[in-house]
Amino acid sequence: MIKLITQLWQRYHSVLAYLIFGGLTTVVNFVVFWLFNDLIQWPYWLSNVIAWLLSVLFAYVTNKLWVFDAKTPTLSSLLKEASSFFGFRLLSLGVDEAIMVIGISVLHGNPLLVKLIDQVVIVVINWFFSKLFIFKKRTE
């Protein structure tokens, strides 16, 4: 049984690690959104942007170190990788904000429920951005 689990981990490491850290990133995003939107009672769109910023910082570190094991031997490659990561996350922020506005302002959904649905969509989008464009194996 242990051997099977080890084989599965080795074979699907990046997917499983992304699901774990993507889940934790979602928790960070959700909790920060809840704190600012429900407790502090800031507008949902501003709470969402703050939640996005903090969760993206968390996601960059965890994705780089433990999901994709990305090596950046030079400052130049690190800056390129980081700008790519944050640039693609800005694209997903646009989708994120659109889902929130439509779900809350147009459809009058519960903000926390809309946020939960939103995060499922965003995790999938960000996986593809990270896997295909940001942390792809480089030969530098």
- Look at residue 12 in the predicted model and tell me its pLDDT: 75
Per-residue pLDDT of 55-68, as tens digits, reads: 999 988 888 887 76
Model pLDDT, residue 136: 64
pTM of the shown model: 0.76
Which residue stretches of the chain have pLDDT < 50?
A: 138-140
Cβ atoms 54, 28 nearer than 8 A: yes
- Compute, in degrees rounded to 10, the torsion defined by CA atoms 32, 38, 41, 43: 70
Asked whether the beta carbons of 47 and 31 are under 8 A apart, the reply is: no
